[in-house]
Structure 1
Amino acid sequence: MNTADENAVAERALGGPLVVGVDGSEPSLRAADWASDEAALRGVPLRVVYACLWDRYEGAALARDIGEPTEPPLPQDVVGAAAERARARHPGLRVTADVVFEEPEYALVRAARNASALVVGTRGRSGLAEMLLGSVSLAVAAHADCPVIVLRGSHDNQATPPVHGRVVVGVGEDAKESAAVRFAAEEARRRGVPLEAIRAWRCPAYEPGGYPLMLGEPTRQYEERAIEELEGALQDLPADVEVRRRTVEGHARRALVDASHSADLLVVGASRREGQLGFQLGRTAHAVLHHSACAVAIVPHRGHDA
């Protein structure tokens, strides 16, 4: 990412609206609660978006779920209720509401272009619609240009006050890719909680020459390298952020999922490669989206996944 791109991202992160996707389900309303807290923390407007293909299936599906087959709620009612809920939670927050008649993944990725962050839930209504929303969350996390915060089904529906008092960030191999670390540091500072930075490392069973790796000094060099990479990723963080450093031997995805049980937010990076249209989530990001015990922020960068 060149300097101009970085400046544009920084300006958007400072003042762009925070977008939340809703669909009328209780998990999406809890996502609106969380998003309103986050927007208030950032001092930015909240935009509530309901994207649907109403004429095809949304009206009938929702009508069956709520037991009113003849008069399902209008899309404007769904998004309006979520917006009113956000306003009631934070009376001074500027909230707008939009209905977009389009596939949700396309509409939300488009909305993310001018957003400081995008918030989505993981589950929707029952049955097929529930699986579809899960697919939407993954697609948005894999392709959005801004950070995407995915709220797990069992999450606390609040960004503030902190429940566990900790933000966790996974630090990948490429310490130069610091977008996720910077994002996590800002989130920790806004909440007034420590940032825990985790760098996982693994010792290969064999050295490049094909000889078994002996325990002791050769093993320590891999841990020492991880410590150096961790320090490199954290060296430019603001002095007012309390940072706790931890290196863990093993898979990054396992270490981060374990850490999520005592965190308010888990932050990982995900690569965005120019010209690539397919799925752009690495194994670590994909795993934590499925198994984290807390909200997960996927922060795009140009490089390798954490």
Structure 2
Amino acid sequence: MMRTVVAGLDGSPESLSAADWAAREAESRGLPLRLVHAWEWQPYDYDTRGSLADADLTRQWAERIPREASAALRRRYPGLPITADRIAGRAAPTLLSAAAEAELLVLGSRGLGTLAGFAFGSVSLAVVAAATRPVVLLRAGGPAGAGQRPHEEGEPSKPTGDGAVVLGLDLERPGDAVIAFAFDAAARRSVPLRVVHSWSPPAIYGYAPVEVPADLGLDLAANVAQTLAQRLLPWREKFPDVRVTTDIRLGGTAPLLIEASSGASLLVVGRRTRGSALGSHIGPLTHAALHHSSAPVAVVPHA
């Protein structure tokens, strides 16, 4: 069965923007687009204590969201196969079920509390933490994907060539799925791939007043660069047209990723899939990327 690109709808402008981003992504991948609306989601603009408390009106509202969204997208992307499903159920389980059969899932953020972080709500975070397929999240007010110009009705959507794809790579647990996703995204957008990696010296050098000798620091940095180059070599050979740059620094990874996301078309990070008595986890780096990146963030699960 052919996979699809799935976009979650909740009636908000942010979810409609995410659906448009998903349509461009589906078009570039040559895949159908599936719009999914879990109709128990609360309306975006209306007070449910009023007239929409009536079950029939609520159902009509739920039916209108995917119908109107799909009609608008069909006008903008006339050659793209689009289906729209209204599914009765809670949002997170419904989206996870849809994502399990998808190439990727795309969600939008309402951007709550961006000053203090937490730009994504509990539904989005629950889906990211448990999804077995890649999830792309677009925050409110951020670019719909630098590197792709706004789509006009009746014309094909093409990348502009602006805005690199940024890959945050952990050399201890790199994850081939994460690297493959980033290279493929850069190749389809015809933009550079910027690989970001931060490193820390051995623990013995991490405690004051001990400092890393200058010569040893240079050697350690050279070893990290060599390891990164070796890790990327098979993917450079597989995607020879992708121009790759690396940004390797000593220090914390999260600030480096947030800085690199400025002007990027996509930030790609990994999430380890592992069993835990406490349930699924996102991880602090991915958490920071989701809440503070100015670019859309692709979270790719890997072993």
- Alignment TM-score, normalising by the size of structure 1: 0.82
Partner of 2:181: helix, strand, or coil? helix
Structure 1, unpaired ranges of 5+: 1-11
2:31 is aligned to 44
Does the 8 A contact of 2:33 with 2:82 survive in 1? yes
Q: Structure 2 vs 1, CA of residues 106 and 204 (structure 1 numbering), >3 Å: closer, same or farther?
A: same
Q: Structure 2 vs 1, CA of residues 226 and 117 (structure 1 numbering), >3 Å: closer, same or farther?
A: same
Separation (CA, whole Å) in 2 of partners of 1:20 and 1:150: 10
2:240 is aligned to 239
Structure 2, unpaired ranges of 5+: 149-158
Taking the TM superposition and a 5 Å limit, the aligned residue runs for 1:80-91 are 80-91=67-78
Taking the TM superposition and a 5 Å limit, the aligned residue runs for 1:161-240 are 161-162=159-160, 164-174=162-172, 177-203=175-201, 206-207=204-205, 212-237=210-235, 238-240=239-241
Separation (CA, whole Å) in 2 of partners of 1:249 and 1:192: 30
Separation (CA, whole Å) in 2 of partners of 1:97 and 1:23: 13
Q: Structure 2 vs 1, CA of residues 292 and 231 (structure 1 numbering), >3 Å: closer, same or farther?
A: same
1:284 is aligned to 285
Structure 1 letter corresponding to 2:165? V
Separation (CA, whole Å) in 2 of partners of 1:241 and 1:214: 36
Structure 2 letter corresponding to 1:33? D
Separation (CA, whole Å) in 2 of partners of 1:109 and 1:277: 19
Does the 8 A contact of 1:100 with 1:107 survive in 2? yes
Partner of 2:16: helix, strand, or coil? helix
Task: Single out whichever of 221-230 and 248-257 deviates more from structure 2.
Answer: 221-230
Task: Single out whichever of 238-247 and 252-261 deviates more from structure 2.
Answer: 238-247
- Cα offset for 1:229? 2.9
Q: Structure 2 vs 1, CA of residues 135 and 175 (structure 1 numbering), >3 Å: closer, same or farther?
A: closer
Identity of aligned residues (%): 36
Mapped pair 1:140 → 2:127:
yes
1:295 is aligned to 296
2:256 is aligned to 255
Q: Deviations over 1:109-164 (max 9, x none)?
A: 111111000000122899xxxx9971111111111111100001122235733474
- Alignment TM-score, normalising by the size of structure 2: 0.83
Q: Deviations over 1:1-49 (max 9, x none)?
A: xxxxxxxxxxx8xx41000001001011111111100000000000000
Runs of 4+ that moved beyond 6 A:
208-211
Structure 1 letter corresponding to 2:91? P
Q: Deviations over 1:155-188 (max 9, x none)?
A: 2235733474210001102265221111010000
Partner of 1:270: helix, strand, or coil? strand
Q: Structure 2 vs 1, CA of residues 17 and 208 (structure 1 numbering), >3 Å: closer, same or farther?
A: same
Separation (CA, whole Å) in 2 of partners of 1:208 and 1:125: 37
Q: Structure 2 vs 1, CA of residues 214 and 241 (structure 1 numbering), >3 Å: closer, same or farther?
A: closer
Separation (CA, whole Å) in 2 of partners of 1:278 and 1:163: 40
Mapped pair 1:122 → 2:109:
yes
- Cα offset for 1:201? 1.2
Mapped pair 1:94 → 2:49:
no
Task: Single out whichever of 193-202 and 169-178 deviates more from structure 2.
Answer: 169-178
- Number of residue pairs the alignment of both structures matches: 280
Does the 8 A contact of 1:200 with 1:226 survive in 2? no
- Cα offset for 1:276? 6.0
2:154 is aligned to none
Separation (CA, whole Å) in 2 of partners of 1:283 and 1:62: 32
Separation (CA, whole Å) in 1 of partners of 2:184 and 2:66: 29
Mapped pair 1:18 → 2:5:
yes
Is the helix fraction higher in 1 or 2? 1
